[in-house]
Amino acid sequence: MRKILEIEDLHTYFHRQDSDPVRAVEGVTFSLYEGEILGLVGESACGKSVTALSVMKLLPEEAEIVKGRILFSGRDIVPLPENDMRGIRGKGISMVFQEPKAALNPLWTIGFQVAESVTAHKKGLSSKQTRQEVLSLLEKVELLPAEIKADEYPHRLSGGEAQRAMIAIALASHPSLLIADEPTTSLDVTIENQIVDLFRRLKNEEKFSFIFITHDLSLCAELADRIAVMYAGKIVEVISASEIMENALHPYTKALVSSLPQNKKGKGRFSVISGNVPEPDNKPKGCYFHPRCGLKSEICLNGYPKFVEVSPGHGVSCYNV
């Protein structure tokens, strides 16, 4: 299969006055194949969203990609000027953000905001044709009845409906790569499952590649083809979604699997991972996970372990594998 996205040794830092930069993303490397769903999993503050914003080149002013390449359809987009990136965003790469009501403009109707995305990428449409395209997109994402929802303002929508509207905006340009940054975080379980089913259907119908960012490993394993596990700004394991529950190798991935409710056996407390993800500006020496790892040894303190492919498609960064 053709690689649609290749991230090679990506380093994204946040600069601060009179202090060392914050290393939010360090040496991230992974690929996404055409038609594939890749899950990017990890706790909050692991660098998942910063990785996505790096791909979109929508970083805040204090952040900078200091090293690495991001190849989209074989073209390195890191050195591209903003004018060139505007031609890639939307038509090539679209993103669904985790807070839909914050991303939607409260002053404009849903139909107007979807229409903006439609007309930005389809020139010469009449107002009638634009309206038809908007209604078609709302029907596609099951925001129904489309004629009524198009004329609603964001505050009139539920969280799930607002997320469907954001998905419609992202799909308006028919992108070849869709990035969804924790799109189900604020939704209840029933609506969450509906949104996941919607993504699955749309991916098959629209034929786009998909990066699904989440802290919910079980949800990711249900949707994705492969999963990249991220910790403290680094990818610690890449594994097939069908194998992660039984064949995970990194202690962090194993701990995430063990903490899932469905893996609780009998009565008692759920398994938990002691400690917290280190602050980006205060990472431990050696392997970043060693303060929370039950398998740590002297070698874990000496340097960060290399990422090694242990079998086709399965790579891990750990001294104990």
Tokens coding 17: 């006055």
- Edge to edge, the sheet with strand 19-33 lists 19-33, 3-16, 63-72, 75-76
Q: Are residues 62 and 190 in the same domain?
A: yes
Token pair 């680094």: residue: 234
Q: Are residues 82 and 152 in the same domain?
A: no
Tokens coding 192: 């969450």
Which one of 174, 198, 231 terminates a domain?
A: 174
Q: Are residues 136 and 209 in the same domain?
A: no
Question: What is the average pLDDT score of the chain?
Answer: 93
Q: What CATH code is carried by the domain that includes residue 275?
A: 3.40.50.300
Give the pLDDT band of residue 184 (cuts 50, 70, 90).
confident
Q: Are residues 60 and 195 in the same domain?
A: yes
Predicted TM-score (pTM) of this structure? 0.92
Residue 268 has pLDDT above 70, yes or no: no
Q: Are residues 119 and 53 in the same domain?
A: no
Which long-range contacts link 287-290 to residues 24+ away (Cβ below 8 Å)? Answer: 287/317, 287/318, 287/319, 288/231, 288/232, 288/233, 288/234, 289/231, 289/232, 289/236, 289/250, 289/251, 289/252
**What gap in Å lies between CA 54 and CA 68, rounded to an integer?**
11
Q: Are residues 300 and 190 in the same domain?
A: yes
Counted residue by residue, the chain has a size of 321
Residue 264 has pLDDT above 60, yes or no: no
Which one of 174, 203, 235 terminates a domain?
A: 174
Give the pLDDT band of residue 265 (cuts 50, 70, 90).
low
Q: Are residues 105 and 66 in the same domain?
A: no
Which one of 127, 153, 174 terminates a domain?
A: 174
9-26 pLDDT per residue, tens = 999 999 998 889 999 999
Domain presence at residue 262:
yes
- Within the chain, residue ranges assigned H as helices are 48-56, 82-88, 100-103, 110-121, 127-140, 146-149, 159-171, 189-206, 217-223, 244-247, 251-258
Q: Are residues 170 and 213 in the same domain?
A: no
Q: Are residues 62 and 191 in the same domain?
A: yes
Which residue segment(s) compose the domain that 255 sits in?
Answer: 3-92+175-316
Domain presence at residue 153:
yes
Residue 279 has pLDDT above 60, yes or no: yes
Number of domains in the chain: 2
Q: Are residues 164 and 241 in the same domain?
A: no
Q: Are residues 287 and 204 in the same domain?
A: yes
DSSP 144-210: SSHHHHTT--GGGS-HHHHHHHHHHHHHTT--SEEEEESTTTTS-HHHHHHHHHHHHHHHHHHT-EE
Domain presence at residue 126:
yes
Q: Is the dihedral of CA 237, 292, 182, 221 positive or negative?
A: positive
Domain presence at residue 321:
no
Interstrand relation of 177-181 and 209-214 (parallel, antiparallel or unpaired):
parallel
